[in-house]
Structure 1
Amino acid sequence: MNTMTDAAGKVQGWAFCRAAHVRQRAKELLQEESAQGTTEYAILVGVLVVIAIIAIVAFKGKVQDLWNAISEGINSL
């Protein structure tokens, strides 16, 4: 009977240790996915900034003309 109790205790200890390992690994995976998501957002923001800069440079003359027209319209009031 004592051998059965010892064996059951070892199995229970192994199961507890294994469960702790699985929980730790799950936490690590969640942290890795969070870091991956943050990196993806940073890349997306960088791409949007580059697109905005290109648009500003490409349409600078038209925006300046529009701004001057609005300014003249307001000043003529």
Structure 2
Amino acid sequence: MDDVMRKLWIRGTGKLKEVKGQGTTEYAILVGVLVVIAIIAVVAFRGKLQELWDGISQGINGL
């Protein structure tokens, strides 16, 4: 009976490790997608961001 329980325990803990690794992979993919979206947004709004940055720097220099 102990042998059967031991095999079930090993199988169960093995499945938990797979799920944990899968979650980490999903988070890595999510972070990668967010980085790509951020890069696309910066490239798409480059002109407006430059205007905003120039306005902020002029305001700080005017102090």
If the length of structure 2 is used for normalisation, what is the TM-score?
0.94
Alpha-carbon distance between aligned partners in 1 of 2:50 and 2:42, rounded to the nearest angstrom: 10
Query: 1:12-52 CA distances to partner (integer Å, 9 max, x unpaired)?
Result: xxx11000000000110000001110110011001000000
Q: Does 1:38 align with 2:11?
A: no
Q: Does 1:72 align with 2:24?
A: no
Alpha-carbon distance between aligned partners in 2 of 1:74 and 1:23, rounded to the nearest angstrom: 64
User: Aligned residues: percent identity?
Assistant: 59
Q: Which has the larger radius of gyration?
A: 1
Q: How many residues align?
A: 63
Unaligned runs of 5+ residues in structure 1 are 1-14
Q: Match of 2:6?
A: 20
Higher relative contact order (CA 8 A, sep 6+): 2
* Alpha-carbon offset, residue 76 of structure 1: 2.0
Unaligned runs of 5+ residues in structure 2 are none
Provide the aligned C-alpha RMSD in A: 0.8
Alpha-carbon distance between aligned partners in 2 of 1:45 and 1:67, rounded to the nearest angstrom: 26
If the length of structure 1 is used for normalisation, what is the TM-score?
0.78
Instruction: Name segments (4+ residues, structure 1) moved above 4 Å.
Output: none
Alpha-carbon distance between aligned partners in 1 of 2:55 and 2:49, rounded to the nearest angstrom: 10
